[in-house]
Amino acid sequence: MIENLSSPLVSPAGARVRPVQDAFHGDLLEVSMGPHHPSTHGVFRMMVTLDGEAIVRLKPVFGYLHRNHEKLGENTTYLGSMPYTDRLDYLNSMTNNWAYALAVEKLIGQPVPERAEYVRVILAELTRLQNHTCLAGFLMQDCGCSGTPLMYAFRERERILDLFESLSGSRMMCNYQRFGGCRVDPGPEWLDAVRGLVEGYGAFLDEYEALLTGNEIVMARTQGVGRLKPDLAVSAGITGPMLRAAGVPYDIRKVDGYGIYPRFSFRVPLGDHGDTYDRYMIRVLEARESISILRQALKDIPAGPIIDPKSRLRGLRPKAGEAYGRIEGPKGEIGFYLISDGGPNPHRYRVRAPSFVNLTLLEDLCLGHTVADAVVILGSIDIVLGEVDR
Amino acid sequence: MLGTGILKGLAVTAKNLAGSFHDPGRFVTTQYPEQRSVLPENYRNFPFLVAEDDKDPMGTLRCVACQICEKECPPQCIYIEKSRDKKPDAAGKMQLYPAVFDIDISVCMSCQICVEVCPFDAIKMDQEFEIATDNRFRPLLRDREQLARSNRYFQQVHPTEAAEVDARLAAARRAAEEKAAAKAPPPARQEVQTKPATERPDPPAGGIKTEA
């Protein structure tokens, strides 16, 4: 039991919160969810204050997986940080690699050959496919669909990870991008395997949607739950599918046009309500757009070098300066901010982790909802603790 | 109508259940110890040291103890001590060799950076993954005897990469021999000729056959 709460019990998101004064709702209960709880997607703790079943306050506690990533980045060479970026958001190592490579390439003014740009786009979109599929699976697991959607998602994800493994040597810790290109040139068989997978993926998404999208239980559990207002999302710095589900058209692939994204035609799906169901739907629709980007990239991929022959692997000593490389990762804006003082290591190495920023609104989304809804809302934010805690 | 969504979903699960008995696309589990999936050629886990000769791995390590991998290794899991004397490498040039070369594979994160930075093609990634042990100290710290694998083994696990490396090394050796033959007096030439010709299972110039 805790004393009266001093802050007003109305969330900025506008969620209804019951008053605590009357005889039946006076006693508040503080519950610690996590850090070792399967619904928290890792070692994450929510200190939930409950009035009956309604959440009146939620304090996210993280840092249990802190591994000094940014300090390590200041003490290793530019190349040496690359394998550590795999371990940030370990579902999406390819996009993490790309964002870091982009920052270093900006810092040293390194051009990237055409073929490598195409391979990067192909890998980033494959990563997005598997991340969004997984997210839908995890979200359904949080809703209580024990296993089935998650196993279907993992079955498809495994096919993509097999492609990653045959290209980079590792399923998840790919360590594939280099400054000025990529490490291994994908052969024609590999590209054919990707083509086969891309052609079959639409059918899988159809099947997956038949299982979930119109399902009445899924709708009852997710619609109207965890509503996010667009202005709040923008002022909190939310990015990625969560922001677009709230109806804000902001996609760094369109805004920055990094790499060769301006060459591809694709749409940016937007949500209407900003609730959990919209966040699920955005993922499915983005996966479909990814398939379209992949088709275009696989059609146009040119021959040529995979890495700039003048690029240097080690012994980089960039001139004093700073660079920020950001891309639209599957979870939002993943960015690396580097300051060089002319030495072999970055003077400052900072990661803008999308799930960390997206997680800051958890309390606003959860206020007024029940504990079971908080689990679903957390699932729809799509966090990976390796990236939140770094 | 309420409930049609659930019925549609049940149809999907029924289709998957039936499919899991006959459709290979839905039948994805590998029963591991009995069945083994084929590892892709690029698969990597821990590094090994390449030795030219199966019979005398310690005498024919390609490593010249330049310590670049030790410096570049992100988690700092490599420890090298240079030798005091020198011995001839594959091209016949006198080189240092590692008196101590240890890799702590409990620290190694299999990132392959040591392989990429090595200018001598002396360290490569292995594919052996069944290395669990009940002792967390000595078996996880591998010394140079445990790390050494023959070039023949490298040709087996990474045939494409090995063919490339062998062709490159053979070309470098030929160039060195020609250079020596062109200008050097007879004694130096003799040394160059005897070493590689007797010690190496000569790789064909066009590359190694994949079955090795």
Distances from the Cα of A28 to the Cαs of A18, A48, A57, A230, in angstroms?
A: 12, 10, 10, 31
Residue B12 pLDDT class (50, 70, 90 cuts): confident
pLDDT band (50, 70, 90) for residue A17: low
Residue B16 has pLDDT above 50, yes or no: yes
- Measure CB to CB from residue A175 to each of B4, B8, B111 and give the nearest one: B111
* Apex B160 CA angle, B157 and B164, nearest 5: 120
Identify from A154, A158, A175 which residue to disrupt to test chain B contact, counting B C-beta atoms within 10 A and taking the largest count: A175
Say what percent of chain A tops pLDDT 70.
93
Q: Report the C-alpha gap between A389 and A82 in whole angstroms.
A: 18
- From the CA of B32, how many Å to the nearest CA of chain A? 16
Task: Give the number of other CB atoms < 10 A from CB of residue B3.
Answer: 9
Structure tokens at B207: 């590359």
Q: Which residues of B touch A162 (CB under 8 A)?
A: 40
Name the pLDDT band for B210 (thresholds 50, 70, 90). very low
The verdict on a CB contact (< 8 Å) between A314 and B117 is: yes
pLDDT score for B185: 60
Comparing CB atoms, the residue among A79, A155, A216 nearest residue B6 is: A216
Mean pLDDT of the B41-48 span: 89
- The conformation of residue A263, written as its DSSP 8-state character, comes to G
C-alpha closest to that of A130 among A286, A357, A256: A286
What mean pLDDT do residues A7-13 have? Answer: 48
Asked whether the predicted pLDDT for residue A42 surpasses 80, the reply is no
Return the pLDDT at B201: 45
The answer to whether A365 and A13 are in contact (CB under 8 A) is yes
Mutation pick from B1, B112, B127, B158 vs chain A, by most beta carbons of A within 10 Å, is: B112
What would the pLDDT profile of A318-335 be if each residue is shown by its tens digit? 888 899 999 998 998 999
Buried b vs exposed e over B161-193: b needs ≥16 C-beta within 10 Å? Answer: bbbebbbebbeebeebbeebeeeeeeeebeebe
> What integer is the mean pLDDT of A336-343?
90
Q: In chain A, which residue's Cα lies nearest the Cα of B125? A: A169
Percent of chain A exceeding pLDDT 90 equals 28
A353: tokens are 């982790």
Q: What residues contact A176, with CB distance under 8 A and at least 6 apart?
A: A93, A94, A97, A123, A164, A167, A168, A182, A183, A184
How confident is the model at residue A26, as a pLDDT?
A: 64
Report how far apart, in Å, the C-alpha atoms of B156 and of each of A164, A189, B3, B35 are: 22, 20, 57, 21
**CA nearest neighbour of A295 among A266, A316, A321:** A266
User: Per the omega criterion (within 30 degrees of 0), is the bond before B98 cis?
Assistant: no
Measured at the CA of B57, the angle between CA B195 and CA B197, to 5 degrees, comes to 20
Residue, of B191 and B79, whose pLDDT is higher: B79
So what's the pLDDT on residue A16?
Answer: 52
Coil, strand or helix at A16: coil
What does the pLDDT read at residue B190?
47
Average pLDDT over residues B44-51: 89
Tokens standing for residue B48: 């090994």
d(CA A234, CA A223): 22
* Sheet (strand B47-51) strand order: B123-125, B47-51, B148-150
pLDDT of residue A147: 82
DSSP single-letter state for residue A303: P
Mind telling me how many Å the CA of B184 is from chain A's nearest CA?
Answer: 34
Cβ-based interface (< 8 Å): residues of B facing A: 2-6, 8-9, 11-13, 15-16, 26, 28, 40-44, 68, 72-74, 109-113, 116-117, 125
pLDDT band for position A283 (cuts 50, 70, 90): very high
Least confident of A247-261, B42-56, B170-184: B170-184
B44 contact residues in A (CB cutoff 8 A): 169-170
Q: Are A219 and B3 in contact (CB under 8 A)?
A: no
B167's CB contacts (< 8 A; 6+ apart) are B203, B205, B206, B207
Chain A residues whose C-beta sits inside 8 Å of any chain B C-beta: 76-77, 79-84, 86, 148, 152, 155, 158, 162, 165-170, 173, 175, 183-184, 207, 210-219, 313-314
Do A349 and A333 meet the contact criterion of CB atoms below 8 Å apart?
Answer: no
Cα A88 from chain centroid (whole Å) = 11
B5: which chain A residues are within 8 Å (Cβ-Cβ)? Answer: 213-216, 218-219
Beta strands at A45-51 and A36-37: parallel, antiparallel or unpaired: unpaired
Q: What is the pLDDT of residue B197?
A: 42
Residue type for position B12: V
Of residues B193 and B2, more confidently modeled: B2
| Residue A360 · residue A210 · CB < 8 Å | no
Size of interface A-B (CB pairs under 8 A): 82
| CATH number of B47-174, picked from 3.40.50.670, 3.40.50.720, 3.40.1160.10, 3.30.70.3270 | 3.30.70.3270
* pLDDT score recorded for residue B202: 46
Token reading at A83: 């394998």
Nearest CA in chain A to B68: A314
A180-191 pLDDT, tens per residue? 888 888 888 899
Provide the whole-model pTM: 0.84
CB-CB contact of A242 with A228 (8 Å): yes
What is the residue-wise DSSP string for A210-242? Answer: HHHTT-HHHHHHHTTSS---HHHHHHTT--THH
Residues B134-190 pLDDT 10s: 888 888 888 888 888 888 888 888 888 888 888 888 888 888 788 878 876 655 444
**CA B208, CA B165: separation in Å to the nearest integer?**
10
CA-to-CA distance for A133 and A288, rounded, in angstroms?
11
Here the tokens at position A14 are 């506008």
pLDDT at B205 over 60: no
What mean pLDDT value characterizes chain A?
Answer: 86
> What ranges do the domains of chain B cover?
47-174
Contacts of A119 by beta carbon, 8 Å cutoff, 6+ apart: A182, A186, A301, A306
Q: How far is B162 from chain A (nearest CA, A)?
A: 15
Name residue B155's amino acid. Answer: Q
Reported as a single tens digit per residue, the pLDDT across B81-135 is 888 888 877 666 778 888 888 999 888 998 889 998 988 888 999 888 888 888 8
pLDDT of residue A7: 46
Put simply, the answer to whether B12 touches A211 (Cβ < 8 Å) is yes
Distances (CA, A) of A258 to A95, A266, A319, A325, A329: 13, 15, 23, 9, 12
CB contact under 8 A, B74 and A76: yes
